[in-house]
Chains A and B, each alone.
Chain A
Amino acid sequence: MLTLTCPCCGITAEETEFAPGGEAHLKRFGPDSSDADFEGYLFARKNPKGVHFERWRHAYGCGKWFMAARCTATLEVFGTYAAQTTKPPADIVKKIKAKRPEWEPQA
């Protein structure tokens, strides 16, 4: 079971207190984009074995959205951070690098 720490209220709780929101850091492609970009934005999702970035909501607590970096294979959580970011912050990347040296952040 996942244990996440909400960066908004500081509570560490287990998975059932949160609601999952899918992959983090998606770039939106709107009405004027190409069909391929729009389809990718709507449907194409990463499904890695290993490091993954996700959106979560503290549904039964403070109600705020946040991001989590975790490993899909071991359920290890590398860290959680504010939802108002467009890419993983440097300190999170550093923490992941320390534990998964072979992992490279994607552009």
Chain B
Amino acid sequence: MSNAVSALQGATYQGFVTVTEAGLIGMISIRGDLTSKPLLKALKALGLSVPAPRQIVTSKDLTLAWMSPDELLLICDHSAAAQLVQTLSSALEKTHALVCNVSDARALFRLKGAKPDQVIMKLSPADIATLPTGEMRRTRLAQVAAAVWRSAPDEISLICFRSVATYVQGLLETSARPGSELFETAPSSS
């Protein structure tokens, strides 16, 4: 089997925040009725529960995000994804549901630094300043769809399709160019 490589193989850029393509990350798309018992049971076995709309729940090295009324995204280690898909698929065998390993169909970026908000603010119509921790915000980044969340106090993570990873890296680099900060401190509304 050929080696798995991420979209931009960990490309980084040092601007007023550090933009990094996060490398290989496991991502599993789960679609189906989010109230169905087999799903609740399967998630409980992983130490997770169905998150409330737009929320994120975590357990050890797993992160589960609410993506739409019938879709969840499970973020895990790249090497663990295949096994998790098997576990979940067999648990949901008898229900109308889909479990799909989308690790290699997506790209994940991390913005690390004092003002990661400002990089997104320039690109998205979403009100990032008021985005609470633990919320997954799906929005638009210039011309492509992206999902954004606060993964640490000084870090914003961002998922987009792999096919637009180069475009997104370009956007983030331009947006994070040194000296192009929008303002010095965080806005008082945040």
Give the B-binding residues of A (Cβ under 8 A). Answer: 8-11, 13-14, 16-17, 59-64
Q: Show 25 A/B contacts (Cβ-Cβ < 8 Å), sorted by A.
A: A8-B68, A8-B69, A9-B53, A9-B54, A9-B68, A9-B69, A9-B138, A10-B54, A11-B137, A13-B125, A13-B126, A13-B139, A14-B125, A16-B125, A16-B140, A17-B125, A60-B138, A60-B139, A60-B140, A60-B145, A61-B68, A62-B69, A62-B71, A63-B68, A64-B69
Q: Is B67 an interface residue (CB 8 A)?
A: yes
- A62: chain B residues within 8 A (beta carbon): 67-69, 71, 138
Q: A9-B54, A11-B138, A14-B125 are in contact. List 20 more A-B contacts (CB 8 A).
A: A8-B69, A9-B68, A9-B69, A10-B53, A10-B54, A11-B54, A11-B137, A13-B125, A13-B126, A16-B125, A16-B140, A17-B125, A59-B145, A60-B139, A60-B140, A60-B145, A62-B67, A62-B68, A63-B68, A64-B68
- Cα A60 to Cα B164 in complex, Å, equals 14
- A8: chain B residues within 8 A (beta carbon): 68-69
Q: Which of B69, B138, B139 has the most CB of A within 10 A?
A: B138
- Cα A63 to Cα B140 in complex, Å, equals 12
Main secondary structure of the interface of A (DSSP, over half): loop
Q: How far apart are A21's CB and chain B's nearest CB, in angstroms?
A: 17
- Cα A59 to Cα B71 in complex, Å, equals 15
- Cα A62 to Cα B138 in complex, Å, equals 7
- A9: chain B residues within 8 A (beta carbon): 53-54, 68-69, 138
- Cα A9 to Cα B138 in complex, Å, equals 10
Q: Indicate if the CB atoms of A17 and B54 lie closer than 8 Å.
A: no
Contact with A along B52-67 (1 / 0, CB 8 A): 0110000000000001
Q: How far apart are A84's CB and chain B's nearest CB, in angstroms?
A: 12
- Cα A16 to Cα B126 in complex, Å, equals 10
Q: How far apart are A17's CB and chain B's nearest CB, in angstroms?
A: 5
- B54: chain A residues within 8 A (beta carbon): 9-11
Top 10 closest A-B pairs, CB basis?
Answer: A62-B68, A60-B140, A61-B138, A60-B145, A14-B125, A8-B69, A17-B140, A63-B68, A9-B53, A16-B125
- Cα A63 to Cα B66 in complex, Å, equals 13
Within 8 A of A (CB), among B135-156: 137-140, 145
Within 8 A of A (CB), among B5-54: 53-54
- A64: chain B residues within 8 A (beta carbon): 68-69
Q: How far apart are A9's CB and chain B's nearest CB, in angstroms?
A: 6
> When A10-B53, A11-B54 are in contact, do A17 and B139 touch as well, CB less than 8 Å?
yes
- B138: chain A residues within 8 A (beta carbon): 9, 11, 60-62
